[in-house]
Amino acid sequence: MEGAGNILFSGVGGQGILLASEITAYSLLAAGYDAKKSEVHGMAQRGGSVTAQLRYGKKVYSPLIEPGQADIQVAFEMMEAVRYLPYLHKGSKVIVNTQKILPPAVATGQAEYPADVLDNLIEREIVVVPVNAFDLAREVGEVRTANVVMVGAMSPFLPVNPDVYEDIIRARVPEKFRDANLRAFEAGRRVSE
Amino acid sequence: MTKQNDNAHWMSGNEAIALGAYEAGVKVASGYPGTPSTEIMENLCHYDGVYTEWAPNEKVGLEVAIGASFAGVRALATMKHVGLNVAADPLFTASYTGVNGGLVLVCADDPEMHSSQNEQDNRNYAFAAKMPMLEPSEPMEAKEMLKTAFELSEDLDTPVMLRITTRIAHVKGVVEQGEKKKALPGEISKNPSKLVMLPGMARQRRVYVEERMNRCKELAETAAFNRIEEGDTKRGFITSGVSYLYVKEAFPDAAVLKLGMCWPLPEKKIREFAAMVDELYVVEELDPFLETHIKALGIDCRGKECIPNQGELNTSIVRNSIDPDSKAELFEEVALPMRPPNMCAGCPHRGIFFNLSRMKVFVSGDIGCYTLGFLPPLSAMDSCVCMGASVSIAHGIAKAVGEDAHDKVVSVIGDSTFIHSGITGLINSVYNESASTLIILDNRITAMTGQQQNPASGYNMKGEAASQLDLEALCRAVGVKHVYKVNPHEVPETRKVLKEAVDQKEMSVVISEAPCVLLPEMKERKPVSYFTNQENCVGCMSCIRLGCPAISWTTFAEGEAEERGYRKKQKGISKIDEILCNDCGQCASLCKFNAITRKEEK
């Protein structure tokens, strides 16, 4: 067990960020790391931008990622991949679900959804891994597994053996959805491998 | 809560505190939901042998816990920081009576105001109410400190406060399970000279309070929770709570005095530490609480002159405040459309605020999901101060403006908030002849904090059937003559009722009745969705102005309107996302062009 890192999960309230960050945290703990995770409940959840911050290492003190220190970002929506740019550094890996969710100003015709929004990352030498999580989730037979597809796509960037994630999914997910989630994890992992 | 091995769990601070309460043998716990404290009670109610309840407000909750303590059992009260303002009355006198069974109050502060209307620093309450306050830095420590708090409470005959912040409550970490202490049964024992705070007895207890705090100060000198961590003495740090973690990362080699008890302070230990180090820094979030009291000891230190007194801290802020040269270069933010929180698709509040946005009234708002009625496109809230204030502020405005005000002021409050502290305001409005209108948004749940039961929901904390408060009967009983009920999803119908209520020259109440769409029974039903008959859409934007997340607008390109067979001047069309639609029908009730239809089956 070596190294330490910071993972930022971002997206829109209701996208299943919580489960994705939990599976990641359990996997890191099972691999022998210390971990802390921070999230915000309440007002911040009602369809607004949401984040969860996960830090791992030999011993983790602060639950918050410092600006410029997120090594990996798992973004569940395209614009939310760019919103937290000050947290990223050159070479950060951004795994992004290529879905667009229109914010109120765009939905009501007051603003436009920015074109080529991911270029903001690429221009700054940030590694972008686009994932069509919905299509992949549909292919494995359960659209609600898009968040686990995202975990799969992130997994090769963490020092954790794929078996560990699979064990966690087996232990955590109700039997009814277990196989679909395992397939979703594999489908996501293939995107990045 | 998830098991890592037999003893270690991955838990949030709030889950850890619930486990700590169970291990401490707590017998009675009462609280009012409030972010970031809510999950303590939600988790505690699943443990055997602990009586738990949602109280109608924090004052009641604390008083219930005081009563349980008087009956000799360990008792817990939980609340968010502003809830302690409501509970301050019993708190200050419980400090005099002291306890029989251990009494601990957990208050959860919200620096940065993630989900609050202010960021008051409740450490000041420990000083003002003359009682000990413990402050953990992380979930595992929160659990252990809660148990320590109960021991202190019983040893020193005092209520004890445990102060957490958002970054402890909602942070997950590894927590080791401990032994459970046997809970003692409650029994009635009379001791009026200790418990009846008439002036004569209170004066005697007042003397005891000073003796107790002196004993507590002595104990703080040697207690394990106040510890010096040896290190580089060029710069030394005194810190507590989550700030300790930031200091450990920003200055890993420095000497640190970690204060687990932020009141009273261990004076000798602080002097000893100050003498050890060349330069002394005090690192704390929000107020210069430790700093002020340390400076009052005549000890020179640096604190808020370089570290912000607003918002949360983090490792970077701590490092950069003290070493400005260490600032790293960061990518700048890119301008993007904002994504503020919004009422859910199908939220009943939307129908009320849509109507209010079209009425020329001052909307006196309150605390809950419906505070989002402030945001565009509804923009229908003009003030919001604290729980329950909507009713009384509207009354004050009406009295200031005089007789013409009866159709110009409306207050809006949720069911749970009305019960929390709106009822007394309504009694005042009737008694002192207000002519404003109160709208009670009854969605049958305490929604913003994540679906907690309340006295009007018909269920208790465990989901068992309970007595259900009849809001209409209550309003009539306090003397309101004009009480209306509306279904807010029928937007034009609701408008007519609101207008009639507002026109009344006496106090009127409109109860808006429709369940929160996040209620389990609402989520489990198979909603039928609405869809747009786009060929009928004339681009009037009536539905768009609801601000529903399921409805979006597409602007036509030049010439596109005619090409697609619409009027040349039509600017665009609206569309309903059938997956997001929650079947409320507000948009359909507004559409005059038969462009929105309910589907038979989703």
Tell me the CATH number at B563: 3.30.70.20
Q: Centre a 10 Å sphere on the Cβ of residue B304 and count the other Cβ atoms it contains.
A: 15
Element (H, E) at B503: helix B491-503
Contact yes or no for A47 and B138 at CB 8 A: no
User: Chain A window 118-147: which residues touch B at a Cβ cutoff of 8 Å?
Assistant: 120, 124
Tell me the CATH number at B207: 3.40.50.970
Distance of residue B504 Cα from the nearest chain A Cα, in angstroms: 35
Tell me which of A23-32, A46-55, B34-43, B193-202 is least confident. Answer: A46-55
Residue B412 counted as domain residue: yes
Q: For A52, which residue in chain B has the nearest alpha carbon?
A: B171
Element (H, E) at B517: none
Range of the domain at B8: 2-222
Check the CA dihedral B520-B522-B524-B529 and report its sign.
negative
Q: Is B374 in the same domain as B499?
A: yes
Domain boundary among the residues B472, B498, B523 is at B523
Write the ipTM: 0.96
Q: Is B551 in the same domain as B593?
A: yes
Residue B334 counted as domain residue: no
**How many cross-chain Cβ pairs, A to B, lie less than 8 Å apart?**
165
Residue B339 counted as domain residue: no
3-state SS record for B532-577 = ECHHHCCCCCCCHHHCCCCEEEEECCCCHHHHCCCCCCCCEEEEEC
Distance of residue B97 Cα from the nearest chain A Cα, in angstroms: 36
Contact yes or no for A42 and B449 at CB 8 A: yes
Query: How many CA atoms lie within 13 Å of B55's alpha carbon, on the beta-carbon side?
Result: 24
Hey, what domains does chain A have and what are their CATH numbers? 5-132+154-175 (3.40.920.10)
What does the block give as tokens for B242? 């989550």
Bridge partners, B257 (sequence order) = B228, B238
Helix (H/G/I), strand (E/B), else coil: A99: coil
First to last CA, chain B: 36
On whether any CB of chain B is under 8 Å from the CB of A12, the answer is yes
On whether any CB of chain A is under 8 Å from the CB of B552, the answer is yes
What is the mean pLDDT of the segment spanning A141-149?
A: 93
Q: Show the DSSP H helices in B30-104 as ranges.
A: 39-44, 58-70, 83-97
Q: Is B183 in the same domain as B275?
A: no
Contact yes or no for A104 and B138 at CB 8 A: no
Strand segments, DSSP code E, in A18-120 are 34-39, 49-57, 70-75, 88-97
What pLDDT is attached to residue B191? 96
Contact yes or no for B171 and A46 at CB 8 A: no
Q: Is B204 in the same domain as B75?
A: yes
What pLDDT is attached to residue B126? 98
Check the CA dihedral B417-B422-B424-B427 and report its sign.
negative
On whether any CB of chain A is under 8 Å from the CB of B86, the answer is no
Residue in A36, A67, A120 nearest the CB of B173? A36
Residue B342 counted as domain residue: no
Q: What's the pTM?
A: 0.96
Residue B331 counted as domain residue: no
Radius of gyration over alpha carbons of chain B, in Å? 28
Contact yes or no for B249 and A111 at CB 8 A: no
Residue B335 counted as domain residue: no
What does the block give as tokens for A99? 């879905």
User: Which residues from chain B sit within 8 angstroms of residue A37, using beta carbons?
Assistant: 171-173
Q: Phi and psi (nearest 5°) for A117?
A: -65, -30
Residue B300 counted as domain residue: yes
User: Which residues from chain A sit within 8 angstroms of residue B330, using beta carbons?
Assistant: 67-68, 86
pLDDT means per 10 residues, chain B with 602 residues, are: 71 98 98 97 97 98 98 98 98 98 98 96 98 98 98 98 98 96 92 97 98 98 98 98 98 98 98 98 98 98 98 98 94 95 94 97 97 94 98 97 92 98 98 96 94 96 96 98 98 98 97 95 84 93 95 94 95 92 95 92 46
Distance of residue B11 Cα from the nearest chain A Cα, in angstroms: 10
Distance CA B242, CA B168 (A): 7
Distance of residue B241 Cα from the nearest chain A Cα, in angstroms: 11
3-state SS record for A154-170 = HHHHCCCCHHHHHHHHH
What pLDDT is attached to residue B295? 98
On whether any CB of chain B is under 8 Å from the CB of A44, the answer is yes
Q: For B368, which residue in chain A has the nearest alpha carbon?
A: A43
pLDDT at A146 over 70: yes
Which residues, at least 6 apart from B473, have a Cβ–Cβ distance to it below 8 Å?
none
- Indicate the number of domains in chain B: 4
Q: Is B463 in the same domain as B370?
A: yes
Q: Is B43 in the same domain as B163?
A: yes
Q: Is B157 in the same domain as B33?
A: yes
Digit-coded pLDDT (tens) for A97-110: 999 999 989 988 89
Residue in B138, B166, B332 nearest the CB of A86? B332
Distance CA B332, CA A85 (A): 7
Q: Which of B11, B336, B342 to mutate to test the interface with A (most CBs of A within 10 A)?
A: B336
Q: Is the peptide bond before B308 cis (omega within 30 degrees of 0)?
A: no
User: Is residue B488 within 8 Å of B584, Cβ to Cβ?
Assistant: no
DSSP single-letter state for residue B68? H
Contact yes or no for B342 and A12 at CB 8 A: no
DSSP single-letter state for residue B50? -
Helix (H/G/I), strand (E/B), else coil: A12: strand
User: Which residues from chain A sit within 8 angstroms of residue B315, using beta carbons?
Assistant: 62, 64, 66
Digit-coded pLDDT (tens) for A63-74: 999 999 999 999
Q: Show the DSSP H helices in B255-408 as ranges.
A: 267-276, 289-296, 315-322, 349-356, 389-401
User: Which residues from chain B sit within 8 angstroms of residue A44, using beta carbons?
Assistant: 114-115, 341
Domain boundary among the residues B182, B206, B222 is at B222
Q: Is B100 in the same domain as B196?
A: yes
pLDDT at A56 over 50: yes
User: Chain B window 211-270: which residues touch A at a Cβ cutoff of 8 Å?
Assistant: 242, 245-246, 248-249
What does the block give as tokens for A157? 């960037």
User: Chain A window 17-36: which residues touch B at a Cβ cutoff of 8 Å?
Assistant: 22, 25-26, 29-30, 34-36
Q: Is B32 in the same domain as B96?
A: yes
Distance of residue B209 Cα from the nearest chain A Cα, in angstroms: 37
Residue B338 counted as domain residue: no
Q: Is B395 in the same domain as B438?
A: yes
Q: Is B535 in the same domain as B420?
A: no
Domain boundary among the residues B222, B255, B286 is at B222
Q: Is B246 in the same domain as B281?
A: yes
